[in-house]
Structure 1
Amino acid sequence: MARVLPMLGLAHLDRPFDYLVDQAMDADAQPGTRVRIRFAGRLVDGYLLERRASSDHGGKLAWLERVVSPEQVLTPELVELTHAVAERYAGTTPDVVRLAVPPRHARVEKAEFAAPPAEEPVEAELSRWADYDGGVDFLSALRDGLHPRVAWQARPGEDVATRLAELASVVAAAGRGVVIVVPDQRDLDRLEHACAELLGDWCVTLAAGLGPTARYRRWLRVLRGSARVVIGTRSAVFAPVRDLGLTVVFDDGDPSLDEPRAPYPHPREVAVLRAHQTASALVIGGFARTAEAQALVESGWARNLVAARDVIRGDMPRIEGVSDDDRRIAGDPLARSARIPNIAFDAARRALAEDRPVLFSVPRRGYLPSVACGRCREDARCRRCHGPLQMNERGDLTCRWCGRPENRFVCPNCGGTVVRARMVGDKRTAEELGRAFVGVPVLTSAGDKIVDDVPPGARVVVATPGAAPRAEGGYGAAVLLDTWAQLDRQDLRAAEEAVRAWMAVATLVRPHTDGGRVVIVADAALTPVQALVRWDPVGFAGHELGLRRELAFPPAVTMASIDGPPAAVAAFLGMLELPAGVQQLGPVPLPLGVRAPAGLDPSEGIERVLLRTAREHGRGLAAALRAAQVVRHARHEDTAGIRVQLDPPTIG
């Protein structure tokens, strides 16, 4: 007899079912294999979880239709992990399994796989870790097979890829497995290059960009023990490495790590669950720090791994904030016309005179990505979906959300027909800087045209957050523009994301001892700006966490969002039996900037309800939401389009 998990994705069927196994399939029908079963009269996919001599089911059992493959892809550790993630995020185990196990490719399974490398990995030179307080003890704990858990604060200008490769070499040399998760392909390419030098064939890369066949081939290498180190993006956190010794999630605040598929698990939280289940080490790192990582430190579950202040001061560039009312830019015509004060131009001119590149960071791509009515200054919005309008170089207006052209703008507030720029994008900024720095090459990096590296020499680079290319030896100066657009967003994480973006830019600039300079056009008295000027991400994360405790926002509390059409949301709430102490907020219209649930039109009036409870009661809220999902699917209620999400990345 076999216990099988059907891949149905329905909450009331999220459990194993018993099936009889034919003698011909007995050898192949092993735990972890893919199978086909007949369920409710139709053939569906499933995973065989367990072989048993008898069944608890009193009725007649159906037969297993066939074993799709004898490859045991769903390991016992993955079964435990996917079930824990489903419970944590009020989802279903099949949905998590789809994230953890890539689709099968039969030809790949039948191909011959190379044996594990004959030579063992060799530890790299690790002297740079001694600059971090407790760094030597941390490495010793990794060598000894212990499970230290740290929040690593990378130094300004740190070669992160090399440091991560060094950690992987320490653990792999001890014969244990490593998983390293980074936000995007650019980070992954640098990490792959660093790991290739230290680990060779013991390291494999997992990313969606590989294509399904190549990805499955590499995933099988890990499963079969031919590789000990896995590096990759989001879903690599589930990689089936043997004897896991270390999991790393770097830059956990990057929005690229937000999973868009149900039940929307964040790799950081998956890594925390996995480290707990496997008694393995965990590193959550970054140049900035999230409130979630700080909460782990303040709870005592993890500890700080930071460099001494004198080391940080020696690494960082000179950073200064310049506000609009600063006496140094009073009456400055450049500040009024081009949003760039003279002090920032001076920093750029000095760097260019020394034949060094200069980086200008702007928060949005495009020409004029946000416009307002020229008469009443009301934001210009699309008549169809209420999304923000933008203007291209030709003066055409289109919606940033639905792409609909606006051929004749009329302000619904005052009747005005003329628009003005509310925000300037990278293209318009590059145009202005090209006129300001005549004869200097101007390069843009944003959207789908991202530049990875720029050659040495005097040039101006205009980039959006996360798209700034690296410069050999570092930029001579960087200027952070339109910071109000990052800080004024109606979002819980606006300040946190702004600090993360600013520090990512500042770490590309040379140290102040080599003339590196950063000018941030913002009020230097603001707490986020001070965090950058002092380079104190730990203090800022503690400040943010304190504010969220006062206001009862995540991660100080557990919060769930229920999004969907008003009638469907009301019906779902009627099925929900909330534990004591859960507070309901809303319903309210879905906040601007939050994506609508899949298949729904934002113009159709989508609502959001937030549920909030104390952190220690978070599992109770998740269990209540799972129970409501069971009732919803079992009754076939009209709740189509509902999205249930624990700790949503955007609250609004």
Structure 2
Amino acid sequence: RVDAALTALLGEGHHVLLTADAGPEARYRRWLAVSRGAVRAVVGTRAAMFAPVQDLGLVALWDDGDSSHAEPHAPMPHARDVLLLRATEERAAFLLGGLIRTVEGAQLVETQWALPVDATREAVRAAAPLVRTIGDGDQARDGAARAARLPSLAWQVARDALLRGPVLVQVPRRGYVPRLACERCREPARCGKCAGPLELTDGSSAPQCGWCGRPEAAWHCQECGGFRLRAQVVGARRTADELGRAFPKVPVRTSGRDGILGAVTGTPALVISTPGAEPVAEGGYAAALLLDGWALLNRPDLRAGEETLRRWTGAAALVRPATEGGTVLVLAEPTLRPVQALVRWDPAGHAARELAERAELGFPPVSRMASVTGSPAAVAALVELARLPEGAAVLGPVPVSGDRPGGPRGAGDAPAGEHRERMLIRVPPGSGAALAAALKAAQVARTALKQTDQVLVRIDPLDIG
């Protein structure tokens, strides 16, 4: 969409698009055109942060809270940090845009490194949809919510909106039923071989492990001996099946990892999407249902609230304004801070409060922090070798998420059956470079001592759970 907008603004041949989809030959040809000064503007994904634009005048980044802006390979740069350095070194303008303000963006404003560019409250009210909430207590009293996943108000909002246009349904999890539990004692159902979580891939197959893929047709609960399973988390495809049966005459379309839709027409339809894969609707959606808010808010992560608000706002922004009947229904406790920020459409206020709490607790981005992950002996050896700067606080060790029963697996998690630990090292502001140098020297010393156990070191990790 940005490529098309730049073409309309500048005309053909005045900018290049740098993405992996272009292929290596086309990408290298465009890279040479930029480095030689034949093209003065570049738009692209994460790797475009290194594009050798001559006489750089402006760097711009959209939605810096999106995890795709963080490079997963060493040295793991974030596009925001790289562009900040380039803007400073080359004396260029820096523009950070998005539907929400991240804590890092709020810190730039707080320190007066950047100035806020905000719409007036009148403009926000004119463009924003009406946001309504349904809390856990309301769902507990609703018979329809106990029998199905959607309370009566959600069915009513969807039914009325389908008379006027498409309805977006955001589901936090992909798949059919990605998490199962014992029906009797609610204990998570796990694989008998690797202890991975059991899941259903469709409505007729047997449960299988989400880690090793082993089927578990004869599963029984290790806690209570039960043999019956219940859905602990419902995925996008199961939601599409349920809504398709509830609205048999309405087309149902899905958008997610298996296939992302770019756009949909303005005719009535149900669009089931995972966060970040929402297609743009012609004329905007008549309504949006944001399901299973607890699945996003209850993640054991420092950024859970910020990330939840980012995903909700991304979906709500595709809905028509309230003056045109646009409605967003959030299934989450109304008193929670991200829910209130969405209702008031106040992401800047949410970011400012998050920043104040981080400052009080000494978490990034106010302080600098490093995570050290590996086997217990390797982590202990590296921290012992490191000459940490004055004021450093060592937190942990704790098992990484892949070792925790029921915990989600992610980058750097231990393979099944292997135990790993993580230690966090926190230093005051201004000591980040000294911390990085100390950990680098310790890694070099481990190599000289022929300690071969791998240790992953990350500075200011995105996920602090």
Query: Which of the five TM-score ranges fits, normalised by the shorter chain?
Result: over 0.9
Match of 2:442 in 1: 628
Q: Is the CA contact (8 Å cut-off) linking 2:64 and 2:102 kept in structure 1?
A: yes
Find the partner of 2:219 among 400, 409, 413.
409
Q: Deviations over 1:15-50 (max 9, x none)?
A: xxxxxxxxxxxxxxxxxxxxxxxxxxxxxxxxxxxx
Q: Which residue in 1 is equivalent to 2:102? A: 290
The answer to whether the 8 A contact 1:594-1:650 is kept is: no
Match of 1:651 in 2: 464
Query: Structure 2 CA distance, aligned partners of 1:196 and 1:359?
Result: 30
Counterpart for residue 86 of structure 1: none
Shift of 1:536: 0.2
Aligned mate of 1:362, from 171, 188, 192: 171
Structure 1 residues 390 and 306: CA distance shift in structure 2, 3 A = same
- Judging changes above 3 Å, is the alpha-carbon distance between structure 1 residues 386 and 582 closer, same or farther for their aligned structure 2 residues? farther
The answer to whether the aligner puts 1:237 opposite 2:52 as a matched pair is no
Name the counterpart of 1:372.
181
Question: Take 2:408 and 2:198, find their aligned partners in 1: how far apart are those partners?
Answer: 13
Does residue 212 (structure 1) correspond to residue 6 (structure 2)? The answer is no
Contact 2:172 2:296 in 1 (8 A): yes
CA contact (8 A) 2:266 2:285 kept: no
The 3 A distance-change label for structure 1 pair 596 and 313 is closer
Cα deviation for residue 634 of structure 1 reads: 3.5
Q: Counterparts of 1:250 and 1:596 in 2: how far apart (Å)?
A: 24
CA 1:523–1:388 in structure 2 vs 1: closer, same or farther (change >3 Å)?
A: same
For the 8 Å contact 2:140–2:146, the answer to whether it is kept is no
Tell me which of 158, 161, 165 is aligned to 1:348. Answer: 158
- Between the aligned partners of 1:256 and 1:448, the Cα distance in structure 2 is 18
- Measure the CA separation in 2 of the matches of 1:451 and 1:357: 14
Which amino acid letter does the alignment assign opposite residue 361 of structure 2? Answer: L
- Tell me if the contact between 1:479 and 1:519 (Cα under 8 Å) persists in the aligned partners: yes
- Please say which of residues 388-397 and 575-584 is displaced more in the overlay: 388-397
Q: CA RMSD in A?
A: 1.7
Taking structure 1 as reference, are residues 385 and 231 closer, same or farther at Cα in structure 2, changes over 3 Å only? Answer: farther
- Identify if the C-alpha distance between structure 1 residues 648 and 214 changes in structure 2 by more than 3 Å, giving closer, same or farther: same
> For each residue in 1:480-514, what CA deviation from the matched residue of structure 2 results, as whole angstroms up to 9, or x when unmatched?
11000000111111111100000000000000111
Question: In the alignment, does 2:343 pair up with 1:533?
Answer: yes
Do the aligned partners of 1:315 and 1:511 also contact (CA within 8 Å) in 2? Answer: yes
C-alpha separation between the residues in 1 aligned to 2:458 and 2:359?
21
- Pick from 408, 425, 442: which aligns with 2:252? 442
Instruction: Label 1:551 to 1:381 Cα distance change in 2 as closer, same or farther (>3 A).
Output: farther
For 1:636, the aligned partner's letter is K
Q: Which residue of 2 aligns with 1:191?
A: 2
Query: What is the CA distance between 1:427 and its match in structure 2?
Result: 1.1
- 1:226 is matched with 38
Alignment partner, residue 455 of structure 2: 642
Deviation at 1:319, TM superposition (A): 0.6
**Of the candidates 416, 420, 445, which is equivalent to residue 230 of structure 2?**
420
Alignment of 1:232-311 (within 5 A): 232-311=44-123
Paired AA for residue 361 in structure 1: Q
Contact 1:509–1:517 (CA<8 Å) still a contact in 2? yes
* 2:285–2:326 Cα contact (<8 Å) kept: yes
What do residues 244-293 of structure 1 show as CA deviations (whole Å, max 9, x unaligned)? 11111111111222211011111111111111111111111110121111
SS, match of residue 415 in structure 1: coil
2:389 alignment counterpart? 579
Q: CA deviation at 1:451?
A: 1.1
For residues 255 and 560 of structure 1, what CA distance do their matches in structure 2 show? Answer: 18
Verify the 8 A CA contact 2:286 2:327 in the aligned structure 1: yes
Find the aligned partners of 1:532 and 1:359 in 2 and give their Cα distance: 17
The residue identity in structure 2 corresponding to 1:191 is V
Structure 2-normalised TM-score? 0.94
Unaligned runs of 5+ in 1: 1-189
In structure 2, C-alpha distance between the alignment counterparts of 1:402 and 1:385, rounded to whole Å: 7
Residue 615 of structure 1 and its aligned partner are, at CA, apart by: 2.3
Distance 1:292 1:308 in 2: 22
Do residues 335 (structure 1) and 145 (structure 2) align? yes
Moved more, 194-203 or 459-468: 194-203
Deviation at 1:414, TM superposition (A): 3.0
Structure 2: runs of 5 or more not aligned: 402-406
Once the two structures are superposed, what CA deviation does each residue of 1:361-413 show, in whole Å capped at 9, x if it has no partner? 11001111111122221222334444322112224222333433334323333
- Aligned equivalents of 2:461, 2:215: Cα separation in 1: 31
Separation (CA, whole Å) in 1 of partners of 2:211 and 2:120: 45
Kept in 2: contact 1:316–1:511 (CA 8 A): yes
- Aligned to 1:367, the other structure's residue is in SS state coil
CA 1:403–1:500: 2 relative to 1, 3 Å: same
- Cα deviation for residue 303 of structure 1 reads 1.3
Q: Which has the higher contact order (CA 8 A, sep 6+)?
A: 2
- How do 1:468-617 residues align onto structure 2 when only pairs under 5 Å count? 468-591=278-401, 592-593=407-408, 595-597=410-412, 601-617=415-431
Q: Deviations over 1:220-265 (max 9, x none)?
A: 1111111111111111101100011111111111122221101111
Identity %: 51
Question: 1:391 is matched with which residue?
Answer: 200
CA-CA distance at 1:590 after TM superposition: 0.5
SS in 2 for 1:244: coil
- The structure that has the greater radius of gyration is 1
Structure 1 residue 626 displacement after superposition: 1.7
Could you say what secondary structure the match of 2:162 adopts?
helix
